[in-house]
Amino acid sequence: MLVGHFNLDLLNVVGLGSYYLNFTVLNVLIFLKFTSLTTFAKVNEELVNDTKKNSLDGEDKATAKLLIQLMEEKKLYTDPNITVDKLAEAANLTPKMLSQTIKYTFHSNFYEFVNRYRISESKRLLSEQGSADKSISEIYHLVGFNSKSVFNTCFKRAEGVTPSQYRDKFAITSEA
């Protein structure tokens, strides 16, 4: 009954027109929103890090000494299953405090910290007299690595040569 009084072509044009108008306005608003994001100021990360570091200073030195002692005397790095939680428990610290101390005192993360000791010990074992009697596999197991590929990657990153090349270099210099 009412259908005869409306022009359906006109309704289609009005409907499509309002759709395109909404689509255009929405795109303009989105564009303006993204262009206004450039107005945010950058965070000065140095100031943030300095603030965190200053909050650790009091306990930092004693905790760092304790960590060095645990790593050098008890050789906790030789445990292939060492974790942040295990080291924190041995040091009687929370894992968060341990991680912060390693980050701000030793400028590394937990794995870099542990692997530094492992690489140092492996260098000692590779360069000592009679080291040819020990295989590379035996050495990487002794210092706490589970995988030869991880050992080789860490060693080469730290020393610039593979463990075998390092051993050969010391064999040549000790013969000369």
Average pLDDT over residues 136-159: 94
The 3 state secondary structure assigned to 66-101 is: HHHHHHHCCCHHHCCCCCHHHHHHHHCCCHHHHHHH
Residues 115 and 164 in one domain: yes
- pLDDT of 136 reads 92
Residues 59 and 86 in one domain: yes
Residues 52 and 32 in one domain: no
- pLDDT of 16 reads 84
Q: Is the pLDDT of residue 175 over 90?
A: no
CB 126 within 8 A of CB 167: yes
Residues 118 and 89 in one domain: no
Residues 55 and 97 in one domain: yes
Q: Is the pLDDT of residue 51 over 50?
A: no
Residues 15 and 61 in one domain: no
- pLDDT of 32 reads 78
Residues 112 and 176 in one domain: yes
Residues 27 and 87 in one domain: no
CB 76 within 8 A of CB 82: yes
Q: Is the pLDDT of residue 83 over 70?
A: yes
CATH number at residue 114: 1.10.10.60
Residues 143 and 86 in one domain: no
Between CA 77 and CA 121 the distance in angstroms is 10
**Of the candidate ranges 22-26, 30-34, 48-52, 157-161, the one whose mean pLDDT is the lowest:** 48-52
pLDDT digits 0-9 by tens, 33-47: 776 655 555 556 565
36-62 burial: b if 16+ Cβ within 10 Å, else e: eeeeeeeeeeeeeeeeeeeebeeebee
- pLDDT of 58 reads 56
- State which residues form the domain around 139: 108-176
Count the domains in the chain: 3
Residues 118 and 157 in one domain: yes
Between CA 71 and CA 63 the distance in angstroms is 12
Residues 70 and 115 in one domain: no
